[in-house]
Amino acid sequence: MLKIIGIVCLSLIIVTGIAVSILEKKEPEPVKVEIKNVLDNIGANQLGWVFFEDSNANGEFDYNEPVFKSVSVAVRRPGDTTAFITVPAEVNGLVKIDGLEPGTYEAQYLNYELEQPYEIGEWALRRYYQIIEEGKSRYSFLPTEWQRIELTGSGFKAKVGLREYQPVAILAIKEGKQLKFYDPARAKILGQSQFEDEAERQFYLKGGQIYYWQDKKLKRFSFKDRLVTAVVEEPVDKDKEELPWFYSNDSGSYFYDWQTDKTTKYTALGSGVKAAVSEDGKYIGVKLNNSIMVVDYPAVMASGVEKHYLLPFSGQIVFSRDEVLINQSKPCQPDGDCGEIIRIALKGNGVWEIKDRIELKDIQADEMLGEIRLGFD
């Protein structure tokens, strides 16, 4: 019996030891590697670039970052206006140009197979990429500006990281029958709706997502997540919202509070007024003859005083948090100038300031739904 007990104990000790060794075993740390030394073969009279997806935007090739092959390089001589050669990247991300004499050249990185939009349901978006070069903090879109390079006797080598551009915020703008996503920081249209029917379509912006009816289904599109979801299969009555609201008819303009079920008439606004209401129900804006009136609803309810601000501007208005966006678009000019959107920050107590004037480039802003803040760094 003692012998059996000893064997069992020994077995338990061995099993326990194995279990402890397994638990204490750590995952190997990611190893930083070079891009398979594809640039090692670049030598005299040769230009060489290797492109990779710089997912963390640190300007260096890190473990598990894939190479990038949807790019090409154009080269010209200083003083020329066009390239004498353009070469696409190979499957390993390498662009190699040989047979050149040492000297000064100019290079440009171009979109290659990146111009075609990709579709998500009824939406078409474009991919824009930034470059982050090794040893530089230079951020640039493809195609880049021309940059000078020196081809020496030992050749020229460069590693270039690319990362898909993620805007901090975009504007949802209706132009004709299409809804377009406009990046105010870069003055670029990043995508648009592409419905097959030509009927006038209503879009709604709420919570940073676009809602619309399609084939009797209420759908929701998230630009950030690149996702279309069918929310409601058939039209339904809108539920009461737990937010203050505003409406106007021939008899006057009113606040309606869903929580208290009370209606307050606001005499300063007049009757039959079309208003813009902030998503949190805090602000209400209406257009007057040559100005804009912004009402602070919580202040009205708290004090009973018809508190409002007068802004000396005209144009369509929408709210973005505690800011007012005023659409002052115009017919597009030959140079692409289509007017501007003014951003005003409300400071309270009648104080306000112009924070930004957003250039509208190559987009006729017939109607602005509002701003979608994406939260990317």
Q: Which of 277, 212, 209, 204 is nearest to 243 (CA)?
A: 277
* 372 three-class SS: strand
- Angle of CA points 176, 365, 209, to nearest 5°: 85
Token readout for 35 is: 């891009």
Residues 309 and 294 sit within 8 Å (Cβ to Cβ):
yes
For 290-365, strand residue ranges (E) read 292-296, 308-311, 316-320, 323-329, 337-348, 351-361
Compute the distance between CA of residue 75 and CA of residue 105 in angstroms, rounded to an integer.
7
Q: Give residue 223's pLDDT.
A: 93
Which amino acid would we find at residue 340? E
Maximum distance among all Cα pairs of the chain, rounded to whole angstroms: 103
Q: Give residue 341's pLDDT.
A: 97
The overall pTM is greater than 0.75: no
Residues 141 and 128 sit within 8 Å (Cβ to Cβ):
yes
* CATH class of this structure's domain 46-164: mainly beta
Partnered with residue 153 across adjacent β-strands are none
Q: Give residue 163's pLDDT.
A: 87
- Third-level CATH fold of 169-232: Thrombin, subunit H (2.40.10)
Collect the ranges in the chain with pLDDT lower than 50: 1-33, 236-243
Partnered with residue 214 across adjacent β-strands are 217
Token readout for 169 is: 């915020």
> pLDDT for 174-204, tens place per residue?
999 899 999 999 899 999 998 877 567 788 8
CB half-sphere exposure, 314, CA atoms < 13 A: 4
Residues 187 and 193 sit within 8 Å (Cβ to Cβ):
no
Q: Give residue 243's pLDDT.
A: 45
Q: Give residue 355's pLDDT.
A: 93
* 12 three-class SS: helix
> pLDDT for 60-103, tens place per residue?
877 778 888 889 999 999 999 999 999 999 998 999 999 999 99
| Ranges of each domain in the chain | 46-164, 169-232, 244-366
Q: Give residue 246's pLDDT.
A: 65
Residue 96 to residues 45, 61, 130, 158: CA-CA distances in angstroms?
11, 19, 21, 11
Q: Give residue 324's pLDDT.
A: 92
Q: Give residue 369's pLDDT.
A: 93
Q: Which residue has the tokens 């409406």?
A: 247
